[in-house]
Amino acid sequence: MTWDQGLHGAVVSLDAPAAGGVTRELTYLEAIRDGMRFMMRQDPAVVLMGEDIGVYGGAFKVTQGLIDEFGADRVIDTPMAELAMIYAAIGLSFQGIRPVVEMQFADFISTGFDAIVQFAATNHYRWGQPVPMTIRAPGAGGLRAGPFHSQSNEAWFVHTPGLKVVAPSTPADARGLLISAIRDPNPVIYYETKYLYRSLKGPVPDGDQAVPIGQAALRRTGEELALITYGAMVQECLNAAATLEREGHSVEVLDLRTLKPLDEAAILASARKTGKVLIVHEANRTCGVGSEVAALIAAGAFEYLDGPISRLAGPDTPVPYSPPLEDVHRPAAQAILRAARDLLAY
């Protein structure tokens, strides 16, 4: 791990390579594609499924070129029927295949809800049959795509026993968490942030560099306040923390990375260390992941707190299409700064 020591805190390199490791500069999107390519080369049981993911390369071109290397038997174009493709993937998983299913948008995962929560999530509990299936869900807003293409619906699946849910915020984690998700014997919902596809670039380790499911990442250390977040909000929180440092404050940023199971030890450590916590996520506020994080801190770190546990999230409305309205709906550095300053002054 590399450190950039500041006056009031240490900035942890977002994606510090392992000692002596080889890295490449990849966008978030390229890192996802590279993770799939790596696993498909390593394991012939890995197949991709989704709408227009073959010759067309997917709605966002994440799978572009993979059909040329692996063929149509492993990069499978499906009908526009999410329920059918997920049930087909479950059946394949029973035969030793490891399907990676792409939802064109995370919003459309609701069409396949029954297959995920009623069947895939409960199958191992009911009769001991693993379901090694990964569902890629391109989610969140910021692209002016309106209410049907901008949702952050991860809390649906965090609530469901039997599922794991990950949400990488960096290119290296996008690749590393995807490797872990594909190898996992449980169904994993892999939330990738569309806004980061081409806007974020960083060093990505080559080779077999999996990121463990269930481990948060401390992106920046601090003493006065902890910002706990995930996905695209990690970058926004880091920007806010840098501004607050220039104002004389020491702010920590904890990236959850995995939403289920949560890294409870890391969350409690940040809360106990700083005494003040602001939880930030793009999803709607009510019953969001932040509610569970807040409850965990209230139960496990209450006596360490010097202020109320605060949450900053999207309002309980559909995501607007209008750019000015979406900018208000979606938390960003300025909104985080306002909430953080209020909490620091408490």
DSSP string for 151-165: ---HHHHHTSTT-EE
| DSSP-based three-state secondary structure for 18 | coil
d(CA 25, CA 140) in angstroms, rounded, equals 24
In a domain, residue 219? The reply is: yes
Q: Please, what's the largest Cα pairwise distance for the chain?
A: 59
181 and 309 assigned to the same domain: no
In a domain, residue 253? The reply is: yes
Residues 288 and 229 sit within 8 Å (Cβ to Cβ): no
Please provide the size of the chain in residues: 346
63 and 152 assigned to the same domain: yes
Q: Catalytic one among 149, 249, 281, 329?
A: 149
pLDDT attached to residue 143: 79
In a domain, residue 238? The reply is: yes
d(CA 60, CA 63) in angstroms, rounded, equals 8
134 and 245 assigned to the same domain: no
Residues 183 and 312 sit within 8 Å (Cβ to Cβ): no
116 and 149 assigned to the same domain: yes
DSSP string for 217-279: EEEE--SSEEEEE-TTHHHHHHHHHHHHHHTT--EEEEE--EEES--HHHHHHHHHHHS-EEE
pLDDT attached to residue 29: 97
Return the ∠ at Cα 285 (arms to 279 and 291), rounded to 5°: 55
Which uninterrupted H or E stretch holds 61? none
* Amino acid occupying residue 233: M
pLDDT attached to residue 218: 98
pLDDT attached to residue 21: 74
Domain range enclosing 83: 23-205
104 and 179 assigned to the same domain: yes
Any idea what the CATH number is for the domain that residue 264 is in? 3.40.50.920
In a domain, residue 8? The reply is: no
In the numeric block, which tokens belong to residue 18? 């392992």
116 and 223 assigned to the same domain: no
Helices (H), the chain: 28-42, 66-70, 82-94, 113, 121-127, 154-158, 171-183, 233-246, 264-274, 289-300, 323-329, 333-344
Q: How many domains does the chain have?
A: 2
pLDDT attached to residue 19: 47
76 and 199 assigned to the same domain: yes
Any idea what the CATH number is for the domain that residue 72 is in? 3.40.50.970
50 and 187 assigned to the same domain: yes
149 belongs to the catalytic site: yes
In a domain, residue 4? The reply is: no
144 and 31 assigned to the same domain: yes
257 and 319 assigned to the same domain: yes
In a domain, residue 186? The reply is: yes
56 and 179 assigned to the same domain: yes
Domain boundary among 177, 205, 233: 205
pLDDT, one tens digit for every residue, the chain (346 residues): 222 323 334 434 455 555 457 899 999 999 999 999 999 999 999 999 999 999 999 999 999 999 999 999 999 999 999 999 999 999 999 999 999 999 998 889 999 999 999 999 999 999 999 999 999 999 988 779 878 887 889 999 999 999 999 999 999 999 999 999 999 999 999 999 999 999 999 999 999 999 999 999 999 999 999 999 999 999 999 999 999 999 999 999 999 999 999 999 999 999 999 999 999 999 999 999 999 999 999 999 999 999 999 999 999 999 989 989 888 889 988 999 999 999 999 9
Residues 331 and 282 sit within 8 Å (Cβ to Cβ): yes
Domain boundary among 187, 205, 223: 205
Residues 11 and 151 sit within 8 Å (Cβ to Cβ): no
In a domain, residue 7? The reply is: no
In a domain, residue 9? The reply is: no
Domain boundary among 180, 205, 230: 205
